[in-house]
Amino acid sequence: MIELTGCLSPHVSTPQRDHTRLVWLSPDRGTARLRVITWTCQCRATLYELCQAGGQGFIRRTLQLDGSPEVHETYRWPIKQADDIWRALLSGEAR
């Protein structure tokens, strides 16, 4: 599906009725090296980022509130699994 909005990054789809519910935890502030692999479009109030740290992958969710963004993260998974969950998130199969 092509959206003619001028947005360069993907948007998450509306969650499907039986979507997998991800567990959103408080961010791990001890993370030394964090690499953001890809992210969703910043035109939406909620930004999702696929991150990598210490050989594991996870998703970070930022609710872009005025002045005080609210950040949550998923559990850490093997990179491949995090990648699968990222695609499920974009397609609305997980949220």
Q: Which of 34, 41, 71, 90 binds Zn ion (CB under 5 A)?
A: 41
Name the DSSP letter for residue 44.
Answer: S
Minimum separation from the CB atom of position 43 to Zn ion (A): 3
Instruction: Note whether 12 and 92 are within 8 A (CB).
Output: yes
Q: Which is nearer to Zn ion, 34 or 41 (CB)?
A: 41
Of residues 42-61, which lie at the interface with Zn ion (CB under 5 A)?
43
Closest alpha carbon to 22 in 65, 76, 64, 63: 76
- Using rule CB under 5 A, residue 63 touches Zn ion: no
The widest CA-to-CA distance across the chain, in whole angstroms, is 40
Residues lying near Zn ion in the complex (CB under 5 A): 7, 41, 43
